[in-house]
């Protein structure tokens, strides 16, 4: 039996052989796993929102983001498979939980989304815009005037404030003149003072209410000159605003125009996040299509969403009843959504920078948005 015993040096050597064998097996399995992972295609979530991404009748994927991803994947040497995802919340949840390696489509970079997923270098320029009903005839004139007047709100407020100040000041001064207070044309009450301020501001000047005291006449002179300047400025601003809109053919919508209106957006969209951050009351719909249908039916006054998707849907399905405002409520960018600490981020960023800076890609992208 002793001949089968190993010496101490032989036992050490045998242990070294065993350790080397285990290390070799581990390296083999790691290499096999790496090769398998490399051969396995990336799962790319596609958010269905034309013209960025959509599915054709034959099942093929098309859109600006799809075309851009194909170029990126070719440059970084990755195989992939597309997975259609109907809602933005499902896209974000899937990327966040590593169900997808990346997500493409109309995915706007926002602070809320950055708290959940990572983003690549910007892929598309975008922004939050408004869709409005298309109105004609007298209704269009009234709507245009209302929109222009809302932009001049501060000037209107200043005019009304000064009107009250002038009326109250005239009443306080004139009521102290006892002899003059008996005359019918005297400013005897606060109502008389405000009435005098209004007719003086509008340059009507009936003369039925006039100041009797020297200080009252001094106030009247200042108010006549001030009101003339204010009314002239207000009229000129309003006319120039309406004229510019007619010449340019543009429709402007500002943040202040949304208050007091029935505002709608698609659930979890960039438009909904904008409205929530601005604390503007609104109603969420399951999709942008449903929100625009409600707008066309008159159940809503305005729909807020990313400008590219709005332009596409309005041009292709609601061109007769809706229009998109020419101004952005907030500029933004769209990008590829990635899980946090994804090893794909750097190669995708480099590929996007090279591709999006090329003239060829800019021409391709413009073709998708030529509506």
pLDDT digits (tens, 9 = 90+) for 211-263: 888 888 888 889 888 888 888 888 887 777 666 555 444 567 778 789 889 99
Cβ-contact 313, 89 below 8 angstroms: no
Q: Do domains 41-123+335-368 and 131-136+252-331 have the same CATH topology?
A: yes
DSSP percent split of the chain into helix, strand, coil, nearest 5:
55, 15, 30
Residue 162, Cβ density class (10 Å: 0-12 exposed, 13-18 middle, ≥19 buried): middle
Q: What value, to the nearest 5°, has the Cα angle with vertex 282 and ends 277 and 283?
A: 125
Rounded Cα–Cα distance for residues 301 and 284 (Å)? 13
Closest CA to 85 of 113, 57, 55: 55
Long-range contacts from 170-176, C-beta under 8 angstroms, 24+ separation:
170/196, 170/197, 170/211, 170/216, 170/219, 170/220, 170/223, 173/211, 173/213, 173/215, 173/216, 173/219, 174/211, 174/212, 174/213, 174/216, 176/213
Q: What is the DSSP string of 51-79?
A: TTBEE-TTS-EESHHHHHHHHHHHHHT--
Whether the predicted model's global pTM rises above the 0.85 cut: no
Q: Using alpha carbons, list the distances in angstroms from residue 280 to 60, 271, 286, 288, 310.
A: 39, 11, 19, 18, 20
* CATH number for the domain formed by residue range(s) 41-123+335-368: 3.40.190.10
Q: How crowded is residue 74: how many other Cβ atoms within 10 Å of its Cβ?
A: 11
Query: What would be the CATH architecture of the domain defined by 151-248?
Result: Orthogonal Bundle (1.10)
pLDDT for res 1: 45
* CATH number for the domain formed by residue range(s) 131-136+252-331: 3.40.190.10
Residues in the chain predicted with pLDDT less than 50, given as ranges, are 1-2, 4, 32-37, 247-249
Rounded Cα–Cα distance for residues 323 and 134 (Å)? 6
Per the structure block, which two tokens stand in for 206? 């009936």
Partners of residue 81 on adjacent β-strands: 43
Q: What is the DSSP string of 246-286?
A: HHHT-----GGGGTTS-EEEETTSHHHHHHHHTT---EEES
pLDDT for res 345: 97
pLDDT for res 247: 44
Partners of residue 62 on adjacent β-strands: 54
Per the structure block, which two tokens stand in for 114? 């950055």
Pairing of β 263-266 and β 102-104: unpaired
308 CB-side CA count, 13 A: 28
pLDDT for res 144: 60
Parse the chain into domains and list their residue ranges: 41-123+335-368, 131-136+252-331, 151-248
């Amino acid at each position: 039996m002793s001949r089968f015993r190993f010496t101490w040096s032989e036992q050490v050597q045998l242990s070294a052989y065993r350790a080397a064998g285990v290390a070799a097996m581990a390296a083999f399995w790691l290499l096999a796993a790496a090769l398998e992972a490399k051969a396995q295609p990336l799962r790319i979530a596609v958010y269905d929102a034309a013209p960025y991404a959509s599915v054709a009748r034959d099942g093929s994927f098309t859109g600006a983001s799809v075309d851009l991803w194909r170029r990126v994947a070719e440059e970084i040497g990755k195989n992939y498979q597309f997975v259609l995802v109907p809602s933005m919340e499902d896209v974000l949840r899937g990327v966040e939980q590593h169900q997808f390696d990346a997500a493409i489509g109309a995915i706007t970079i926002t602070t809320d989304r950055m708290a959940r997923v990572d983003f690549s270098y910007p892929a598309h320029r975008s922004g939050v815009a408004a869709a409005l009903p298309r109105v004609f005839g007298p209704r269009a004139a009234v709507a245009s005037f209302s929109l222009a007047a809302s932009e001049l709100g501060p000037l209107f407020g200043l005019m009304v404030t000064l009107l009250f100040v002038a009326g109250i000041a005239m009443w306080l001064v004139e009521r102290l003149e006892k002899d003059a207070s008996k005359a019918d044309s005297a400013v005897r009450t606060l109502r008389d003072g405000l009435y005098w301020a209004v007719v003086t501001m509008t340059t009507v000047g009936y003369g039925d209410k006039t100041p009797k005291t020297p200080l009252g006449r001094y106030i009247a002179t200042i108010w006549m000159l001030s009101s003339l300047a204010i009314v002239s400025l207000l009229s000129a601003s309003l006319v120039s605003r309406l004229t510019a809109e007619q010449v340019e053919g543009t429709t402007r919508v500002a943040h202040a125009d949304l208050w007091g209106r029935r505002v709608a957006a698609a659930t979890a969209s960039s438009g909904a996040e904008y409205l929530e951050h601005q604390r503007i009351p609104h109603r969420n719909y399951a999709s942008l299509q449903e929100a625009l249908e409600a707008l066309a039916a008159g159940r809503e006054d305005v729909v807020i969403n990313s400008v590219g998707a709005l332009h596409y849907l309005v041009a292709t399905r609601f061109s007769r009843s809706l229009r998109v405002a020419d101004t952005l409520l907030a500029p933004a960018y769209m990008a590829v959504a990635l899980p946090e600490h994804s090893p794909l981020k750097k190669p995708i960023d480099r590929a996007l920078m090279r591709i999006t800076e090329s003239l060829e890609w800019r021409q391709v992208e413009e073709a998708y948005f030529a509506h």
